Amino acid sequence: MKFLATGVAGFIGSSLANLFLNRGDEVIGIDNLNDYYDVKIKEARLDILRQNPRFTFCKVDISHRSDLSTIFLSHSFDTVVHLAAQAGVRYSMENPYAYIDANLVGFANVLEECRHHDIKHLVYASSSSVYGANARLPSSENDNTDQAMSLYAATKKANEVMAHSYSHLYQLPTTGLRFFTVYGPWGRPDMALFKFTRNILAGEPIPVYNDGEMIRDFTYIDDIVAGISLVVDGPAMKADELDNPPQPTPWKIYNIGNGRRVQLMDYIHMLEKQLGRKASLELLPMQDGDVPETEANIDSIVDDLGYHPKTDVNEGIAKFVSWYRDYYKISF
């Protein structure tokens, strides 16, 4: 099969492209290589992908409509996996226009190109952040998501609604995936595990918000991409609609998580064990836009597609630490 993967130099995008290429698929990958975090790690991810002759990379910003259109006109593919986005809850308070450009304008451009080029399935990244102030746990796809706690979350919720409109109006099959706290090798330097590891090895305090009273559904990167591939390979699912229209809307949302609650302090203790060093904690209040707990109800994707996460947190942290040591040439 032949895929377009946006955000291909990113953490999830590069991991997914590797999976597709290793099983014999062809991947057209696009990314704008912005400097939200160290571009060197993005280039290093691309260097691995470029070793495969079935991979083609184009530097494209999805918010630039004409450039994106050129990609769709120059290549043919049945499926688009849209992972390009401006990530990060806290950064959305510092630079809101980055989210408006990438997550709203960019997503609209992707929808339009898919509509006009007869794409068979658009699979796109949403986020567990859409659950916002909804206190019901574990979070289910049927829960209310109208109380966004950050602009980032609001843009992801908007993506789901925008996709539904295109699925309804144009019968464009779309599937949104709400990822829960992804971690693992080649991860983003702005995320907790990466920052914690860097600071502990440097002998610096690690920032621990809400005085450590946090719970997360940590999901290992291999389980995330396995879930995406199940969605991509399976049929586009119809929305569960009460009015049973003549043409059911080909729109679906899935949680992709580990389905297990992990206390943040337990997560830190696991990392300390792998590093062989004790962390110095800087206990801080809850950050604006954040939530104290996340946990995924994954029954829907398990029942529909047979998804089963395989990596427990201890194993996942050990694999990350091993990668970190190798990538940064650190011995301890």
Three-point CA angle 172, 147, 156, nearest 5°: 35
CA distances 279 to 37, 197, 262, 282, Å, are: 24, 9, 18, 10
Residue 316 CA to residue 332 CA, distance in Å, equals 19
Domain range list for the chain: 2-184+217-261+293-310
Q: Judge whether 211 and 110 are in contact, CB under 8 Å.
A: no
User: For the whole model, what pTM was predicted?
Assistant: 0.95
- Return the active site residues: 152
C-alpha dihedral, 69 to 72 to 75 to 76, nearest 10°: -170
pLDDT in tens for each of the 332 residues of the chain?
Answer: 999 999 999 999 999 999 999 999 999 999 999 999 999 999 999 999 999 999 999 999 999 999 999 999 999 998 999 999 999 888 999 999 999 999 999 999 999 999 999 999 999 999 999 999 777 899 999 999 999 999 999 999 999 999 999 999 999 999 999 999 999 999 999 999 999 999 999 999 999 999 999 999 999 999 999 999 999 998 888 876 545 556 689 999 999 999 999 999 999 999 999 999 999 999 999 888 888 899 999 999 999 999 999 999 999 999 999 999 999 998 87
Three-point CA angle 293, 295, 299, nearest 5°: 165
Q: For the range 198-205, what are the long-range contacts, defined as Cβ-Cβ under 8 Å and sequence gap of 24 or more? A: 199/279, 200/271, 200/272, 200/275, 200/277, 200/279, 200/280, 201/275, 201/277, 201/330, 201/332, 203/280, 204/280, 205/279, 205/280, 205/281, 205/282
CA distances 95 to 65, 273, 275, Å, are: 21, 36, 34
Question: What's the fold here for domain 2-184+217-261+293-310?
Answer: Rossmann fold (3.40.50)
